[in-house]
A and B are shown apart, each in its own frame.
Chain A
Amino acid sequence: PETPVNHGSFMPIDVINPEGSFVNARLPAPCGGMVECRALLAGLMVGALGQAMPEKLVGDLKGGANHVYISGPLADGHGIYLCYEYPAGGTGASRGVDGSHAVRAFPEGDFNSVQSAEVIERQSPLRVERHGLREDSCGDGEFRGGLGLRREIRVLSAVGSLSVLSDKNVIPPFGVAAGGSGAPNRFTVVRDGAVIEPSPMPGKVGDFKLQAGDIVRMESSGGGGYGDPLERDPERVHGDVSLGYVTPEAARARFGVVLDRADGVDAAATRDLRDRMRAERVELDLQLSNADDWRATRRQIGLSSEVAARLGADTGDLIEVVTHSGVALRGWLAVDESIDTGALALGPDGLAALGAQPGDRVRLNRLRAAVS
């Protein structure tokens, strides 16, 4: 990034994208959401390059553009208003570097992703009620991801419409090198104090009917973490808590750091808690199975009921497999009593994505509930 982009920058790069693939569609395949695809590719490249250059690994980003459209009739009855935003999320962590909060990430250019509240309120019957950081949304890690954005816009017109095109609302941005996932993107409506899901499919909303007084709540994802969160310098966790980026509860539950109100980090309690959390981790040895197990578009990860219970998870829950060197592999838990309790069987593609070998020891995490 230090040198100006020039012809030579691209000489080492060959692009191989066979026609008929996801990134080189054949007519009449439906196309759209270009930014969503591009963002997936950026994550894929990071994961692939990370196997060759571990020092270049970086936690995943918010997914696509997070297009949000709020529209309705103008107060004078002439025409409609349209408020269009695409809120940025937290950036991924990398070796030695925490992610940054709610900001354009490295592959994204540098233009506004939200508008000034004063401009919105001047142009539309909308009132912006919050433009802030989404606490605790970072991916955990020795270096944590950045926080996402929390933004709330109240509808003042009698009626309105909400549409959203957003990715990573279910499967959150991944962590790397044993780092944790960022919180997923989430778009909801608050009506009379109750949170409503505007669509059965999170992140994909078409013309949801808004009423006067509704609040559109946009929560963009945090960036993926880098490294084991139990290895994070407790003082850094303390710093995040004192600035309100991370709550004391999350410091304890996710980073194993115990804070004392007066003195900051309680070193002894932190050591004990971290030891206990390490002991409670679910770790298994990898085995190679004949084929990857897919049910429609969802990777299945089979575990015995005993292991599932230790994870606190059940069939249909989202879990992930992490190693100390690469990108996390996600899948949907399928409890199967015929499975060996001490081992985790993955197909060849799963192993390749992890960059792991049979016999490697891996850790399993249950992912925080995607939709709460």
Chain B
Amino acid sequence: MTARRYVVGIDVGGTFTDILAHERHSGRLLSEKVPSIPGEQWRGVLDALTALGIDGADIDAFVHGTTIATNALLERKGAKTGLVTTQGFRDVLEIGKTRRLIGGLFDIGWQRPAPIVSRDLRLEVAERTAADGTILEPVDEAGLQALAEHFRAAGVQSVAVCLLNSYVNDANEQAVGALLRELLDGVPVSESAVLVPEQGEFERTSTCVLNAYLTPVMIAYLDTLSDSLTSRGLAAPVNIMGSNGGAMSLETAAGRVAGTFLSGPVGGVTGARRIAEMAGVSDCITFDMGGTSTDVALIRNLQPRLSHDNQIDAFPLQMPQLDIHTIGAGGGSIVWVQEDGTLAIGPQSAGAVPGPACYGRGGREATISDANLLLGRLPTARALSGGLMLDAALAADAFRALADRLETEDLTGLADAALRVAVAKMAGAVREVSVHRGFDPRDFALIGFGGAGPMHVFLVADELAIPRVVIPRFPGHLSALGQMLADVRLDSVAALGGRLGDLAVSTVRERIDPMVDRARAALIQDGISDDRHQHAISMDMRYVGQSFTLAIPWDASDADWAPLRRAFDARHRETFGYDDPQNDAEIVNIRLVSTGVVDKPNLRFETESAEDALLETRRVWFDGWRDCAVYTRPAMAVGFEFDGPAIVEEPGGTTVVPPGWSVSLHASGVLHCRNDNML
């Protein structure tokens, strides 16, 4: 008997927990979807394993995307956190550089969100490091003991330490951290320069505080998860997705919680990147629509964009993250009437429980899914794959309540209007990652996935005149697929600050060598042998006098700066339309991306059913009721072609192809869709 061995990816979304398992001997992909359990994400993970019937002992590799950090922050359910700063700087966290950072323009009643650490728990210690790294004043240890006593009395559960200029020399910061660990036994301590050795005390403090605030929550979650997985016989290491698009070990994740905010959505981007590669598409925009939210990201030359200066809620977050834009509109988003009588969508979602009204589980409010049902885009005569029968009468009841408020009889028109509002919102998100970053969305293919993505991606494409859409196989499980395919990744950075004219290449190499050594050791500790390591260096560069930088890849074997300088000038021209060859350029930071390459399943998507692909023809609304073919995807063979209007059903997703689009099933398993009217 062949041993069954699996590689597993599990994505915990706001509504559903998706699992995808690759069965090594057969090459088959198995998928399931179970409701997410708010507050107990680990239970959804176990339920998903149970649903798939996989024994923990048969799992070789396990990668997991979690929204624990994001949820805890948005609900302000992190730990009671203390902050230690240099004398004179305890208010940096609250004031920053005096920006509002979230809206408020022309709003007299705007109030700044309360800082994560309240002022009574932000304490100062006498010490000082100069901008060149000189220690002007050592840490006042007596003062620090009093401070620790204050924290203990206040019941502080986690501590952040951010001292001025620690990005140049963190000796004082390390001394404070070490002493606090000793004085406050068992309380986790986050030091700013360990997380972000970059200039900028506000961004560094904010990131460090976010990390400290969420560390106890994350540790508790990871402990529970790993205990319960072990009790299921799992022996393989559990990896967590990081915001940078790579995986990391539980131990690493516990120390870099601020690097996991996008743990959920990045799986979709890495999965879509792989699918795009297989489908021969190098430039695409990912459109990942779930039950609660929609995430979009731009991929160019098969590279997702990375951003270093991020913000979550009102708080700066200086951690490398894939450039993903999220809006609160998904299939379960609630449709409601605002005070002024206009329709709005979300951000409230009916979630998995009770779910949309048409699920018949007690949901009474109209959702986007109910709108789709009223327009004929979801089946009522047959069960969805997964066994759920949808109830059109309940969907109609939910919309009738809105119709009464708006004094209309036209439920179809109302459902169509709700979808248009949702599509406008989602198109705005696509513009955000493309037009606002200097890219024309029409040059990119939209990849539609997530439980609700394939049903709406064409509407967004039509809205933005995007002529190409790609629908992957298993669209509802692409995030889990991305997790399954994720390499282990470690980002490191060192502040440098020097003009090319003054910097010797050898000096920079001397800075890089220990970074590489540390990264190598960390990857080996995460179980990846060094024949599988890859290290890529880039420099954050600018012209002297500028304040914004561009990341320029650097080949460490270069003998001088000339190739780097040429690459920088070229990138500057490309990004800003000009360059400045007369001006000296400077390196602000060295960035190192270290990757531990893991074995990846060889993906094959095959025709799984000999049935006729055409299930039925039914009436579906597309600016009027039209006869529409409904296909089942598992029965389609490579080369299968059809035109919109059409609907494609498969486990985990329904694709709605409007009139004007032509579709063919590509050898890679994706549906290639084009709208020749827009080409």
Q: Is A115 on the interface with B (CB-CB < 8 A)?
A: yes
Tell me if A242 and B120 are in contact (CB < 8 A): yes
Most buried by B among A106, A127, A245: A106
Taken together as a complex, chains A and B put the C-alpha atoms of A160 and B101 apart, in Å, by 34
Nearest-CB residue, chain A, relative to B110: A106
Report the bound CA distance from A219 to B336 in whole Å: 47
CB distance from A111 to the nearest CB of B (A): 7
Contact A1 to B88, CB < 8 A, known contacts A103-B100, A118-B199: no
Interfacial residues of chain A within 70-92, with CB under 8 A of chain B in the complex: 87-88, 91-92
Q: Is the CB of B89 within 8 A of A100?
A: no
Q: Which residue of B lies closest to A57 (CB)?
A: B108
The answer to whether A56 and B108 touch (CB under 8 A), given A112-B98, A149-B95, is yes
Task: Give the residues from 24 to 63 in chain A that come closer than 8 angstroms, CB to CB, to chain B.
Answer: 46, 56, 58
The contact string, 1 if C-beta is below 8 Å from chain A, for chain B 86-116, is 0011111011011111011111111110000
Q: Assess the A131–B130 pair: CB atoms within 8 A.
A: no
Instruction: Please name the residue on chain A nearest to B103 by beta carbon.
Output: A1
B10-25 near A? 1/0 per residue, CB < 8 Å? 0000000000000000
The residue that B118 contacts in the complex, of A106, A112, A118, A243, with Cβ under 8 A, is A243
Assess the B106–A106 pair: CB atoms within 8 A.
Answer: yes
Contact partner of B108 among A98, A101, A106, CB < 8 A? A106
Q: Which residues of B contact A243 (CB under 8 A)?
A: 118-120
Contact in complex: A102, B98 (CB < 8 Å): yes
Beta-carbon nearest neighbor of A123 in chain B: B131
Is the beta-carbon distance between A97 and B112 smaller than 8 angstroms?
Answer: no
With the chains together, A94 CA to B111 CA distance in Å? 10
Q: Does A107 reach chain B (CB closer than 8 Å)?
A: yes
Q: Report the interface size for chain B: residues with CB under 8 A from the other chain.
A: 35
Residue from A117, A244, A245 whose CB has the most chain B CB atoms within 10 Å: A117
Residue of B whose beta carbon sits closest to that of A126: B131
Residues of chain A within 8 A of B105, CB atoms compared: 1, 106, 109-110
Q: Are A119 and B200 in contact (CB under 8 A)?
A: yes
What residues on A are CB-neighbors of B118 within 8 Å? 243
Q: Let me know if B107 and A106 touch, CB within 8 A.
A: yes
Find chain A residues with CB under 8 A from B94 CB: 101-102, 133
Question: How long is the Cα–Cα vector from A113 to B101 in the complex, in angstroms?
Answer: 13
Across the interface, name the chain A residue whose C-beta is closest to B88.
A130
Is the beta-carbon distance between B110 and A133 smaller than 8 angstroms?
no
> Which of A58, A131, A245 has the largest number of chain B CB atoms within 10 A?
A131
- Nearest-Cβ distance from residue B328 to partner chain A, whole angstroms: 16
Whether A112 and B97, one on each chain, are in contact in the complex, defined by CB atoms closer than 8 angstroms, is yes
A297 → chain B closest CB, angstroms? 29
Q: Is the CB of A122 within 8 A of B88?
A: no
Does B413 sit at the interface, judged by CB under 8 A? no
CB of B201 closer than 8 Å to a CB of A? yes
B residues 112-148 in Cβ contact with A at 8 Å: 112, 118-120, 130-131
**A1 and B107 alpha carbons, distance in the complex (Å):** 6
Distance between Cα atoms of A114 and B97 in the complex (Å): 5
A58 lies within 8 A of B108 (CB)? yes
Nearest B residue to A87, CB-CB: B98
Q: Is B167 an interface residue (CB 8 A)?
A: yes
B419 at the interface (CB under 8 A from A): no
Nearest residue (CB) in A for B104 is A106
Chain B residue at smallest Cβ distance from A108: B105
What A residues does B89 contact at CB under 8 A?
117, 130-132
B497 at the interface (CB under 8 A from A): yes
User: Whole-angstrom distance between the alpha carbons of A152 and B88 in the complex?
Assistant: 9
Candidates A92, A122, A149; contact of B98 at CB < 8 Å: A149
List of A residues within 8 angstroms of B131 by Cβ: 118, 121-122
Q: Chain B's nearest CB lies how many Å from the CB of A110?
A: 5
CB pair A94 B201 closer than 8 Å = no
Would you call B97 and A117 a contact (CB within 8 A)? no
Assess the A102–B200 pair: CB atoms within 8 A: no
Q: B95, B119, B120, B199: which contacts A122 (Cβ < 8 A)?
A: B199
Q: How far is the CB of A155 from chain B (nearest CB, A)?
A: 15
Bound Cα distance A132, B96 (Å): 10
Whole-angstrom distance between the alpha carbons of A100 and B99 in the complex?
Answer: 11
Complex Cα distance A245/B97, Å?
19
Q: Is the CB of A129 within 8 A of B88?
A: yes
Q: Which chain A residues numbered 196 to 218 have a C-beta less than 8 Å away from chain B? A: none
The reply to whether A100 and B97 contact each other, CB–CB distance below 8 Å, is no
Residue of A nearest to B166 (CB): A118
What are the residues of chain A within 8 A of B97 when measuring CB–CB? 112-116
**Bound CA–CA A242/B119 (angstroms):** 9
Contact residues of B between 193 and 234, Cβ < 8 Å to A? 199-202
Shortest distance between the CB of B447 and any CB in chain A (Å):
29
Chain A residues, Cβ within 8 Å of B95: 101-103, 131-133, 149
A104 sits at the interface (CB 8 A): yes
Is B480 part of the binding interface, using a Cβ–Cβ cutoff of 8 Å?
no
Bound form: Cα–Cα A96–B167 in Å: 42
Among A206-254, those with CB < 8 Å from B are: 242-245
Min CB gap B155→A, angstroms: 15
A1 to B39, CA, bound (A): 35
For the complex formed, measure the closest distance between the CB of B197 and the CB atoms of chain A, giving whole angstroms: 12
Given A100-B112, A101-B94, A118-B201, the answer on whether A112 and B99 have CB atoms closer than 8 Å is yes
Contact present for B199 and A110 (CB under 8 Å)? no
Q: Is the CB of A110 within 8 A of B109?
A: no
Q: How far is the CA of A87 from the CA of B91 in the complex (A)?
A: 14
How far in angstroms is the closest Cβ of chain A from B340? Answer: 9
Residues of A within 8 A of B269 (CB): none
Q: How far is the CB of B193 from chain A (nearest CB, A)?
A: 12
Query: Is B333 an interface position by the 8 A CB rule?
Result: no
Instruction: Please tell me if the beta carbons of A98 and B120 are within 8 angstroms of each other in the complex.
Output: no
Residues B199 and A104 in contact, CB atoms below 8 Å apart: no
A335 to B104, CA, bound (A): 45
A127 to B107, CA, bound (A): 36
Q: Is B164 an interface residue (CB 8 A)?
A: yes
Q: Are A104 and B88 in contact (CB under 8 A)?
A: no
CB nearest neighbor in B for A239: B118
Q: Which of B100, B108, B200, B497 meets A110, CB within 8 Å?
A: B100
A242 nearest CB neighbor, chain B only: B120
Q: Cβ of B165 < 8 Å from any Cβ of A?
A: yes
Nearest CB on B from A159, distance (A): 20
**B318–chain A nearest beta-carbon distance, Å:** 12
> What residues of chain A lie closer than 8 Å to B130, measured between beta carbons?
121, 127
Q: Tell me, in angstroms, the Cα distance from A56 to B201 when the chains sit together.
A: 37
CB within 8 Å of A: which B462-497 residues: 497
Instruction: Check A118 against B90 for contact (C-beta < 8 Å).
Output: no
Question: Do B106 and A107 touch (CB < 8 A)?
Answer: yes
Nearest opposing residue in chain A for B86, CB measure: A117
Q: In the assembled complex, which residues on chain B have CB atoms less than 8 Å from the CB atom of A118?
A: 131, 164-165, 167, 199-201
Instruction: Determine the chain B residues whose CB is within 8 A of the CB of A103 once the complex forms.
Output: 95, 98-100, 112
Residue ID in chain A nearest B198 by CB atoms = A118
CB distance from A142 to the nearest CB of B (A): 15
**Are A104 and B111 also in contact (CB < 8 A) when A121-B130, A131-B89 are?**
no
* Partner-A contacts on B (CB < 8 A): 88-92, 94-95, 97-101, 103-112, 118-120, 130-131, 164-165, 167, 199-202, 497
Q: List 5 A-B contacts (CB under 8 A).
A: A106-B106, A106-B110, A117-B89, A130-B89, A152-B88
Sorted nearest first, the 7 A-B pairs with minimum C-beta distance are A121-B131, A112-B97, A88-B98, A130-B88, A1-B107, A100-B112, A58-B108
Give me 11 other A-B pairs in contact (C-beta within 8 A), A110-B99, A114-B97, A131-B89 excluded: A1-B106, A1-B110, A102-B91, A104-B104, A106-B106, A106-B110, A113-B97, A118-B167, A130-B88, A132-B95, A245-B119
